[in-house]
Chain A
Amino acid sequence: MTHAGKSQARRGSRGGFVPACLVVAALAACAEHDPEHAADFDVLARFGEVGRSPGQFVKPRAIDADARSLYVVDMTARVQRLDPDSGRCTAWWQLPDFEFGRPVGLSVGPWVDGSTVLYVPETHYFRVSVFRLPDAMGHPPDLLLRFGEYGEGPGQFIFPTDVAVLPTPDGTRVERLYVAEYGGHDRVSAFDPEGRFLFAFGAFGPEGVGDDPAGIYFNRPQSIAIDRARRELIVCDAANHRLGRFTLGGDLLAWIGSPDSAGDAPGRFKYPYGLALPGDGTALVCEYGNGRIQRIDLETGRSLGLFGRSGRGDAQAASPWGVALIGRRLFVLDSGHSRVLTIEAPARRGGGA
């Protein structure tokens, strides 16, 4: 539980808390969540600032992490490896092609040879590229695989946004890749580790329009991630303001939120852009529109906590795009401030959450 959570628990032990809760619940039932009273992030550390030197960013838009490092890509198309404790840049390189646009996603995952690699959806080049991790300052990246081209056919993309990596059961190698895309032909496509198209699901639109046989509609699926324990694919359907739970075969299990429920009350989303899965049946959702992190129980869809809010303060975020998790630390990519905020991640369920 974060510091905010603890203080709520302390307040809860005082006399009169139960009636107060009832009043609050009654008010919440008929009124929206008041963002003015949302709490700031309990920031453990913050690093990064506007600039083009190592350790600086120009509107960073995607973040991911392996066990020891953070990886951030920004509008200069540089991928930086950062020390999560100090924020120091330990390696970086620049994507070879970025004139037409910069990536909006970045994933770290295992490769077929057991090494850890970077999966980069090159959004405005309509393709996905797999690179070795940067290990030096400014050296050109080592390209391992590239697939995709412009189009709406199988294996083609419009704007790929994110890659989810399904590892083999032992977790050491890649078994399958899922790629989300938007741009009027929004869907999620599955590929084998050699970039061969397997299947796709979803169509563009809000719910209830169009002719998708399965009735799955996306509007800018900005992030996707795999819950290995539950064998599920979680999709941030950003412009429909909801999360989607799918089987690994692409069958819809449940929606959490709906296109007409955008808002800032607990359980509602406003442009959920980033996603981190602690593996305890919850999701940590980074909301671009609300400038906060929301913890969601994936089974019930219930909100388990709200962390942070929008603003220009030291402990507030401006248009955050992504979120990454290393152990008990959650790294919020505060894109509008070109920085990363470190907060304490909620404890795993059953661990005192």
Chain B
Amino acid sequence: MMLLASIRLGPVEFQTPVWLLLIPALGVLTVLMAMRSLSGLGRVTRWAALLARLFVITFLAGALAEPQWRKEGKDVSVTLVLDMSQSVPASLQQRVIRFAEEARAVNPRREDRLGMVTIARNSYVQSLPRALNTTLETSTIGATDGTDLASGLRLAMAVASQDAANRIVIASDGNQTTGNLLDEAQRAKAVGVPIDVIPLTYTYESEVMVDRVVAPATARMGEVINLRVVVNATQPADGRLNILLNDEAIDLDPDSPALGTPVSLQPGPNVLQLPIKVPRPGAQRFEAVFEPEVRAGVAVGDARLENNRQQAVTFVSGESKVLVLRARTDEAQTLVQALTEARIDCDVRAADHMPATLAELNAFDAVVMVNQSAYDYTQKQQEDLRQYVHDGGGGLIMIGGPDAFGAGGWIGSPVEDALPVRLDPPQKRQMPKGALALIVHSVEIPDGVYYGKKVSEAAVNALSRLDDVGIVEFDWQRGTRWVHPLGPVGDGTATKRAIQNLTFGDMPDFTPSFELALAGLKKSDAGQKLTIVISDGDPSPPGNALLRSFRDAGVSITTVAIGVHGITDQTTMQTIAERTGGRFYNVQQAAVATLPQIFFKEAQTVRRSLLWEGTPFSPSASLGAAEQLRGIGLPVPPIAGYVVTADREGLSLVSMRGKENDPILAQWQYGLGRAIAFTSDASPRWAQAWLAWPQYRAFWEQQVRWVMRPTGSANIRVTTDVRGDQTILTVDVLDAHGERLNFATFVGRVALPDGSGEHLQLRQVGPGRYQGLVKTEQPGSYLTSLRYRAASQDGRPMEGAVQAAINRPFADEFRALKDNAGLLEQARALTGGRLIGPDPQRADLWAREGLKMPVTTTPIWLAVALGAVGLFLADVGVRRVRIDPAAIARAARRVLVPGKARAAQTESLRQARAQAKARLEEQAAAGPDQRVYLPSPQTASRKFEAAPDARPGEVLTARAEPLRPPPRPEEPKSEPSKEEGMSRLLKAKQRAREETEE
């Protein structure tokens, strides 16, 4: 078995060393054979040949044994994981950075590496581990109201050097709000990375913290509720407690000019009870704020103010209320009048006055949106509306108009999910389409690339599938180009993939991008064409002629300036927009997050194609199917226009249709709530005839009452109890007679602070009492909505709904009053790390102890095999080629001293020529029939070759006598000399053999 393991010989490691057995086996065989086969050779040659063969065998066996060249790393890489969360005092954080820099400065090995990862709510790599890193700086660290030590450790391991041994140094207080450090430490241990720790220890000796505010989840209007505020103090402290109701301070002490009430706190939990009368119906948000006593400008007894406030929400029942959102008064005037006559209480507002929180929105039982544009709503408001219906059980009616539905930019928005129609109609119903060319330039601000991608995605989301979209950017290798050619959006997948691959290159000038975009848009058959440029404005501007070309082609350019360097960049971008009829946006760095909304607005200008307007017609209606249309007489009055939408798959019911069966009125149940879409409008523009319709009031009253959240007859009280990351929700239900209501069925949803929703299950735990568990790990407001159905004692079915809110206003980050060094110690012990002392001179962060240096191996079998081939040739050479040192020396002399050799050669030739000439002259003198050899003109120019017209042996007589016939070529003129040559060779061979044997 041992032979199966790898064997290491110095720097070479054999993976399958069993092949090395061939060396002794074949070696012995070779020696035996050599004794016979090589016996004819000389002694030296024989030994040389034998050795060469043995080497050939060794190398071949070595190559088969899969040899690898090992290279062991020598460097150590240290990644500092620094806790930047707010629980750690900032002074400590900076001290750690200086500590690491000083330790780096005294580390004698310059090749060792240093990197840094910061942790807070999210983790960021500040600098990769590099040998040149001598200073550490932080840039983006993200939100600091949380600590995820595990993700920081995970990131540090992800950026660890592959060719160096790694150490991770965690500097933290050990207080983590999410994640589990020890899970990640197990992984570090598995890959052999020790975790050294620098515990950041502190204790807040004097601290006051508002732990929680307890308010009943539900109350009746005018009721005096008992608000309990739990305040923790580490030392006796004095201060003032203020209570805010929906952000307005309540006067707790009418006898005092101040609003709050003075409190004296004892160490430990202090429970303060405050009777407060709830003045109005709906969601009432209470906030308790503790103000410590201030002496000489310093808060006494309270080190951190972030944990001095907490919130609670009470739902106060009252009459049903409907929120009507509209832009212009006249658009909803008739509708609101009709609803008011029907005794439905309407609160009419513009979009920017929509309730800021989901809890406040839930005070309304329905929301009616009259010709509302998506770009008037922030992303959060849109998400709130969706949650309001799905998880809050509220009702939603979207009424059309030229700014509503798809034409209002709602395509792809959260609200679209709640609507019973699809806003992006299929191909056959598309009107003349729009085309959008996006030009993207680098934005030199933090997270510029991230926001660039977000806004691009927002623009694409606002387009319909047949609209054209293209993206132009400057690629540093390929120059200005369409990274996504102008073409139909389709399902948007390809476009979004292209957006993800954007590099945001630094284009030197705008002109090539503009020319490319214009050329593309000119080819598009779209009815409306728009170019959007996102840039910091510092490329060289386009010429006026080019801007005129845009205007001539009917293409406007909207410019979005982000992080502009100064007034010039801004002017450049503004001028481009003004000269082409586009719009200019200057987005300050602080407001970068609003960019997607801007693009939404721009992209929707391309979407004006979704309106149908023409000769008024009466929509076809199938009234029987929809319960909210009962009693409405047919036909309904004609309409002169609507927004084109499409049927939605699923349980939506379309009860009125327009041209080509387009939905006019549709409804469905969405989560806990209901929604209705009416794609024509409620104003004289499209529905002039409706305003005078006798059933106008009945029609709209029935729509609104159908979507409104049901109110039950039961007496319900909800209480919430926050316990760590979980909250227990308890519901006590009494029927109309005050008896406990048993066996009720609850359907519940919880709207989470991050916009997502969760199912909530309640089970009966006692007579008329039901309980459920809500995970409340994130700080923020949780809204629970419950619908119930039960049979009362008299057997009549009862149903209703109730809401309750759970608040976790500040992060757990601020709850910690002391470090948690124990956790760090566990991680250190688990991975075999060290506790780093306070002296950077002795810290030795790059210590080698306990580290396994990384080894890189390179296969070298090919080189070894080639070596075997070379040796094999050498083996053949030794046996077949005789090496004559004297001849080598002569040849070397000829090569090294070419001039001398050539001179000697020339001299000998000259002598031979002189002898031959003398001989010829003797022959000529001997008689007139003797012939003289003369060279022909051709032979003079080309050496060692006969002239074409010359024949061997051809001669001219001195007297110019006729030529004699040429001798036959086949005449073996040189026969005697050949024989002579062969015999010379044989003799030489014989002589050589004799010498070798000697």
Residues of A in contact with B (beta carbons under 8 Å apart): 49-56, 75, 100-101, 123-126, 150, 158-159, 182-184, 186, 204-206, 209, 219-220, 222, 238-239, 270-271, 273, 288-289, 291, 310-311, 318-319, 336
Contact = CB atoms under 8 A, between A and B. Distances in A.
Given A238-B508, A311-B477, A124 B130 contact: no
A101 B565 CA distance: 6
B645 to A, nearest CB: 46
B541 A51 contact: no
B539 to A, nearest CB: 8
13 contacts: A54-B132, A56-B132, A101-B444, A101-B566, A126-B568, A150-B568, A159-B568, A183-B568, A219-B540, A238-B508, A291-B477, A310-B477, A319-B506
Interface residues of B, number: 28
Of all A-B residue pairs in the complex, the 10 with the closest CB atoms, nearest first, are A239-B509, A101-B565, A124-B565, A220-B540, A319-B476, A53-B134, A239-B540, A184-B541, A53-B135, A55-B132
B508 A56 contact: no
A336 B130 CA distance: 18
A204 B510 CA distance: 14
A270 B540 contact: no
Contacts of B571: 184
A75 to B, nearest CB: 7
B476 A318 contact: yes
Given A150-B567, A186-B540, 6 more contacts: A51-B130, A150-B566, A159-B538, A184-B541, A184-B572, A318-B477
A291 B475 CA distance: 12
B545 interface: yes
Contacts of A183: 538, 540-541, 568, 572
A106 to B, nearest CB: 18
Given A159-B538, A336-B476, A206 B133 contact: no
B543 A205 contact: yes
B123 interface: no
Contacts of A204: 541, 543
A51 B127 contact: yes
B132 A49 contact: yes
Interface in B517-553: 538, 540-541, 543, 545
B86 interface: no
A101 B543 CA distance: 24
B137 interface: yes
Contacts of A75: 444
A53 B508 contact: no
B511 interface: yes
Interface of B: 127-128, 130, 132-135, 137, 444, 476-477, 479, 505-506, 508-509, 511, 538, 540-541, 543, 545, 565-568, 571-572
Nearest to A186: B540
A347 to B, nearest CB: 30
A342 B476 CA distance: 21
A257 B505 CA distance: 24
Nearest to B505: A319
B540 A56 contact: no
B557 to A, nearest CB: 16
A271 B137 CA distance: 34
Contacts of B505: 319
Contacts of A310: 476-477
A219 B509 contact: yes
A289 B130 CA distance: 30
Tell which of B127, B128, B540 has the most Cβ of chain A within 10 Å: B540
Name the prevailing secondary structure of the A interface residues. Answer: loop
B508 A126 contact: no
Contacts of A289: 479, 508
B127 A288 contact: no
B568 A158 contact: yes
B543 A209 contact: yes
Contacts of B127: 51-53
A56 B541 contact: no
Given A75-B444, A101-B565, A159-B568, A53 B133 contact: yes
A52 B505 CA distance: 22
A100 B566 contact: yes
A54 B566 contact: no
Contacts of A209: 543, 545
Given A150-B566, A184-B572, A206-B543, A49 B476 contact: no
Given A75-B444, A183-B572, A49 B130 contact: yes
A56 B135 CA distance: 10
Nearest to A222: B508
Which of B130, B132, B567: most chain A Cβ within 10 A?
Answer: B132
A218 to B, nearest CB: 9
Nearest to A184: B541
Contact of B508 (A100, A123, A124, A288): A288
Contacts of A50: 128
Contacts of B444: 75, 101
Nearest to B571: A184
A184 B134 CA distance: 42
Contacts of B565: 100-101, 123-124
A220 B509 contact: yes
Contacts of A101: 444, 538, 565-566
A188 B422 CA distance: 59
Given A52-B127, A54-B134, A183-B541, A220 B508 contact: yes
A150 B567 CA distance: 9
A93 to B, nearest CB: 14
Contacts of A270: 479
A239 B568 CA distance: 18
A159 B538 CA distance: 9
B511 A126 contact: no
A51 B572 contact: no
A220 B510 CA distance: 11
A267 B444 CA distance: 33
Contacts of A55: 132
B133 A51 contact: yes
A222 B539 CA distance: 12
A243 to B, nearest CB: 15
Nearest to A318: B476
A220 B509 CA distance: 8
B267 to A, nearest CB: 46
Contacts of A52: 127, 135, 137
A100 B538 CA distance: 11
A311 B475 CA distance: 12
A238 B509 CA distance: 9
Contacts of B128: 50-51
A310 B477 CA distance: 6
Contacts of A125: 566
B508 A239 contact: yes
Contacts of B477: 291, 310-311, 318
B509 A56 contact: no
Given A75-B444, A182-B540, A126 B566 contact: yes
Nearest to A47: B132
A27 to B, nearest CB: 22
Contacts of B545: 209
A262 to B, nearest CB: 8
Contacts of A291: 476-477
A182 B538 CA distance: 9
A54 B104 CA distance: 13
Nearest to B480: A289
A56 B127 CA distance: 11
Most buried by B among A53, A209, A220, A222: A53
A50 B133 CA distance: 10
B508 A271 contact: yes
A126 B538 CA distance: 13
Given A184-B541, A318-B476, A53 B132 contact: yes
A288 B474 CA distance: 12
Contacts of B567: 150
Contacts of B572: 183-184
A178 to B, nearest CB: 19
Residue with the highest number of chain A CB atoms closer than 10 Å, among B127, B444, B566, B572: B566
